[in-house]
Amino acid sequence: MAATKEGKLVYNIYRALSFGAAPVLNLYLRFRRFRGREHPHRWTERLGRPSLPRPLGPLLWFHAVSLGEGMAAIPIIKQCIKQRPDLNILMTTTTASAFEVINKRLPSGVIYQFAPLDTLTAVRAFVDYWKPNAIILIESELWPNLIMTASANGIVLALLNARMSAKSFKHFSGPVLLPLISLMLSKFSLIVPLSNMQAIQFQLLQAPPCVINFSGDLKCVVEDFDVSEGELRSIEDLKLELAHRQVWMASSIHRGEEEIMLGVHRELTKIHPDMVTILVPRVPRHGLEITQELRKKGQNVALRSRHEKLVAGTNIYVVDTLGELRLLYGLTPIAVVGGSFLPGLAGHNILEAAAAGCAVLTGRHIGHFSQMVLEMQQLNSLSVLQVFGKLELVNALKELFSDAKVLEARRMAAKQAYHSLSSGIVSSVWNLLNSHVFKRVALLEGK
């Protein structure tokens, strides 16, 4: 009881601070729109102002912060539609980059909005308009005003792929925030952590043990999606340009990692002068910067957003577009997944590359993706190769390019491990949602 009172006290302080900060946040939102960081026409949705009508009937709200988390939600959204076609589905994210991609990948009929800022005014406006029966949060979206407002309105809450970094756990465990975090976690009907370690952390933060269940990582599920004729034609054209040339791809690279990858490229082209290196920056606008710098040095580079061709003498291809990574993995036998070669980075999803049948390599700085890598390696030790720095990466790629049997073994291992790891996850998550969420919602009982 004392802990609950403390939590409510801390929440009241947060609520007051967020109320006072609302005008500043609104100005900041306008500034981000001016800088092109918010959607030019739909940015007011972040203030809780809807742009679409609410349909009649029960509504399930899925929320993810950005692209990776949003894509992870799509398989379970499809399963919900399949099992419960009477449900309306609302999907929200916070970033413009996620909007550009996810809006094209969602099943027809799913409503897509930007999530409200966690100010009381924006959250209340959003909840009052959409009136969700349940809210499904993905990964680490623990926003006090959203959770407390939902609870006060009798909305059932679930947290899928639940995780937090070691830094966040330490922060949340402190004497100031622990009462608030404990209070928020007590409002959930279902928490599905990514691993045993994450489950322990949530219990140490006083999440009720009865709501913690396991199902697997939704990011392990890589589903096919509809591809437009234009997208398909563009990929087929690139496939023809890559024909008869050795190729590898460095995907999701962060600022600073391009220097490592270009260093690797220089070493490899000494042996394979016609080799093509595909660079896919995590932030697309970074691709133009890389291209400009390389051209200043006299390097022939093709930039995807400008539809430039891979002609003879051009052996670096920079992808500065969104939403094509899964398709591009199908064009290369080798994928080096970035966001993992510099201290402070935390890795990216390796399973999209594995599902495409690539030999998968990654660095050592992989954060919470270490669980995914470990599970893949336990299924097959050849499925993922972790390397430390440029020299190890160069040597690993030299072996793959010089020994076709090793390359094929790693490609097969990655694909087989992916299929083993992803099997049954969606149905398991659905069963948990059905028993812990839908049956707790009065409007959905008996369906």
Q: How far apart are CA 304 and CA 1, in angstroms?
A: 59
What are the C-alpha distances in Å from 259 to residues 98, 253, 262, 284, 338?
Answer: 27, 10, 5, 16, 12
d(CA 119, CA 125): 10
Give the active site residue among 69, 139, 141, 258. 69
The radius of gyration computed from the CA coordinates of the chain, to the nearest angstrom, equals 23
- DSSP SS3 for 321: coil
Amino acid occupying residue 81: I
In the residue annotation, 69 being an active-site residue is answered as yes
**SS3 call for 388:** coil
Indicate left, alpha or beta for 48 from its phi (over 0: left) and psi (-120 to 50: alpha).
Answer: left
SS3 for 247? Answer: strand
Residues 97/105, Cβ–Cβ less than 8 Å: no
The Cα 132–Cα 96 span in angstroms is 23
**100: number of Cβ within 10 Å:** 15
* Nearest alpha carbon to residue 252 among 359, 163, 353: 353
Write the DSSP string, 30-68: HHHHHTTSS-TTTGGGGGT--SSPPPSS-EEEEE-SSHH
Report the candidate in 67, 279, 370 with the shortest Cα–Cα distance to residue 362. Answer: 370
Tokens of 333: 């036998």
Looking at the annotation, which residues are catalytic? 69
